[in-house]
Chain A
């Protein structure tokens, strides 16, 4: 069929179906499979370093995802960082300087993460970068950050490689990683459920590394990985995977799936009533990925590093501050991603205050020596920064659905709490090779 003709007597345009399709394909490619709000570059570099002494605002570059697979968690961790900034500004800022935050969407896309980091450092003169969910994005941002010596806080990206082979002197990792969670969950799940496992792996660095950690523990304890099914990012239909799992008949399915993918998977598992059998474990369950899904969809055992109903000092006040500051948000109580965004930002700004300067090397040294009491972290055990890997060693919780909730949002039941030493990633210190201080560009903002 041809197009309906133009009614008006417009000048003829050389328009063909092929041209329309070409242009559309280009537009679609630009829009990308990860979101409809593309980020264009490249950016002109015209930075000005060394402005110490001026009482101008200290700029934090927030690199959280606002679109793509991890958009929901990106928004959540951004709220956490913003609250930390607000609280510190209310106390007069850092070194007498107010804190300003500039957010740019890294779109759950590594290439965008690089561009965003480059722009925030070189054009917006961000002193520090904060925020990451997707390990590919975190790695991309940290490479740019290392080039400039800009301290980068990986708030929520949990591939073991982040504090392993992809570690950097300027990067600090605040979440538990896939190995920490696997150590917390796998052995126990084998004892309870059996030794034949299927791995369901998001096909990117976090999924690969997390499943690798699970495989190592399963095989070391006499279990068998009967199949590993790779799940490309942005998979929305899991029917073929669920049929395959039924054909294999494993004891346990260990999923390393995140973001919008895990939401779709959980709903589809419930539709075919596979949520009871086989047993499911999800290495780490981010709060925004499960909030609002309904009780049936919160099946299996999973890891987390914080829960809003931990019976610990400060938790209630922290929840109240969230609800007062963000009364309109749909997630009515804070979760792990928010918590990590808050804690990372707060500890960075405290480190700057302790260092008495924004000099990056001095702040890095402060962070490397970081120790936070359990009370201050609102966790069960003290936490500390591993100076060799730059990953915060902290309490890891094992959780499942709470079938006796105290209130509507009380959907997790904490099954176990493990101290940092018990779940420390043994491989990270051997694979992480931090750049020397001398090889890291120094700056003061």
Chain B
């Protein structure tokens, strides 16, 4: 009984971690699933989201000091809310620029796209260093979501509860968008049969641009949400892109629920191993990956690609 009592907080923590992992993977999943493009700049967009949010919450613009001073008088919660809304839009515009550059690589060897996004990742990381410097930054949090609460007889960060809830909201919103709106239908149709979609008069390049911006915007949202947990530094993107890649392959490429379930599994494995076999906590996600892919190469919910047939 005592074992179960001790285990319970770690299970809750595993679910929370899993939701955050899923959130990190959502944008990556969307771009890979719909466009079959591996966006290696996903992590850099994640990092850029953090920095843009930091700029929105605590701007430093000496040239506009009076305006900045007035803006600083707004409640932190308001500025944080603005950051959550605006950061993905701004980073999404970067995503659009990247997609425009990527058009020349479509239909060619995937290495071209990979190299381009890899190069973009390097450029963005250096851009961040130039603008914000290499030092660690912190995103200030409103009081309502900072501090701790009692999880049984243990303290747990209130922000994690908020972040997990936010991840659930984002997952549901993305699902509703893809499944219940005409835009979602267009995206899925474009992925299944682009010839037919084009014949129906839908502008495919614009659709692709939109999907890429949405994916990058999701990376930025994940960055904003993870900033208070992981901290903000230029190289933080690498910490996001590797688990994101693992999760979408584990869940099955292109599957929203696959990414969510895989994220939860990874979170649970990392959380439990952190508590009971701590030296395995990072390795555990890779072991899980090996086990699943050994028995099901397409991942948990992956469908066989037409191109593979």
Is the C-beta of A55 less than 8 angstroms from some C-beta in chain B?
Answer: no
**Chain B residues bordering chain A, tally (CB within 8 A):** 86
Selecting from B61-69, B155-163, B216-224, the interface stretch reads B155-163
- Tell me the bound Cα distance from A28 to B114 in angstroms: 10
Q: Are B36's CB and A243's CB within 8 A?
A: no
Is the Cβ of A230 less than 8 Å from the Cβ of B34?
no
Q: B235 near A35 (CB under 8 angstroms)?
A: yes
Selected contact of B305 from candidates A17, A236, A241, A292, CB within 8 Å: A17
Q: CA separation between A232 and B278, bound complex, in Å?
A: 8
Cross-chain contact A243 with B154 (CB below 8 angstroms): yes
A51 contacts partner chain B, Cβ-Cβ < 8 Å = no
B231 with A263: CB separation less than 8 A: yes
Measured CA separation A263–B193 after assembly (Å): 48
Given contacts A271-B146, A273-B147, are A243 and B282 in contact (CB under 8 A)?
A: no
Q: CB distance B138 to A272 under 8 Å?
A: no
Residue of A nearest to B211 (CB): A4
Q: How far is the CB of B7 from chain A (nearest CB, A)?
A: 10
0/1 interface trace, chain B 275-296, chain A, CB 8 Å (1 if under): 1001101110000000000000
18 A-B interface contacts by CB (under 8 A): A6-B107, A7-B205, A8-B106, A13-B107, A15-B107, A15-B109, A17-B253, A17-B308, A19-B110, A23-B38, A24-B114, A28-B242, A36-B43, A36-B237, A37-B122, A237-B270, A268-B157, A331-B135
Q: Return chain B residues, CB-CB under 8 Å to A67.
A: 235
**Complex interface: chain A residues within 8 A of B36 (CB):** 2-3, 15, 17, 20
A369, CB-defined interface residue at 8 Å: no
Does A122 sit within 8 A of B, measured CB to CB? no
Query: How near does chain A come to B57, taking the closest CB pair, in angstroms?
Result: 14
> B27-55: which residues lie under 8 A (CB-CB) from chain A?
33-38, 40, 43-44
**Shortest CB distance B52–A (Å):** 18
* B249:A21 contact, CB within 8 angstroms: yes
**Residue contact B138 to A267, C-beta cutoff 8 Å:** yes
Q: B105 → chain A, closest Cβ, in Å?
A: 10
The answer to whether B274 and A240 have CB atoms under 8 Å apart is yes
Indicate if the CB atoms of B275 and A4 lie closer than 8 Å. Answer: no
CA–CA, A67 and B129, complex, Å:
12
Q: A16-B307, A234-B282, A240-B274 are in contact. Are A272 and B155 (CB under 8 A)?
A: yes
A240, B275: Cβ atoms under 8 Å? Answer: yes
Give the docked Cα–Cα distance between A35 and B238 (Å): 6
Dominant SS among interface residues on chain A? loop
Chain B residues, CB < 8 A from A331: 135
Mark contacts of A231-245 with chain B using CB atoms, 8 A cut-off: 1 yes-contact digit, 0 otherwise: 110111111110110
| Total contacts A-B at CB 8 Å | 223
Bound-complex Cα distance A18 to B110 (A): 11
B35 A4 Cβ-Cβ under 8 A: yes
Q: A20 and B281 in contact (CB under 8 A), knowing A239-B13, A264-B230?
A: no
Which residues 170-202 in B have Cβ within 8 Å of A in the complex? 188, 190-195
A42 is an interface residue with CB less than 8 A from chain B: no
Which residue from A16, A27, A229, A291 sits with its C-beta under 8 Å from B40? A27
Within 8 Å by CB of B194, from A4, A18, A23, A273, lies: A4
Given contacts A271-B159, A292-B136, A330-B135, contact A1 B106 (CB under 8 A): no
Chain B stretch 91-115: residues in CB contact (< 8 A) with chain A: 106-111, 114
Q: Nearest chain A CB to B266's CB is how many angstroms away?
A: 11
Complex Cα–Cα for A268 and B33 (A): 34
Bound together, the chains give a CA A63 to CA B87 distance in angstroms of 37
Docked CA distance A254–B42 (Å): 36
For window 20-38 of A, CB contacts with B under 8 Å fall at: 20-21, 23-25, 27-28, 31-37
Q: Encode contact with B along A130-158: 1 for CB under 8 Å, 0 otherwise.
A: 00000000000000000000000000000
Q: Whose C-beta in chain A lies nearest to the C-beta of B160?
A: A239
Partner of A7, one of B106, B148, B193: B106
Contact A229 B278, beta carbon cutoff 8 Å: yes
Taking A3-B191, A23-B111, A24-B114 as contacts, is the C-beta distance between A230 and B278 under 8 angstroms?
Answer: yes
Instruction: Check B17–A4 contact: CB distance below 8 A.
Output: no
Residues of A within 8 A of B158 (CB): 271
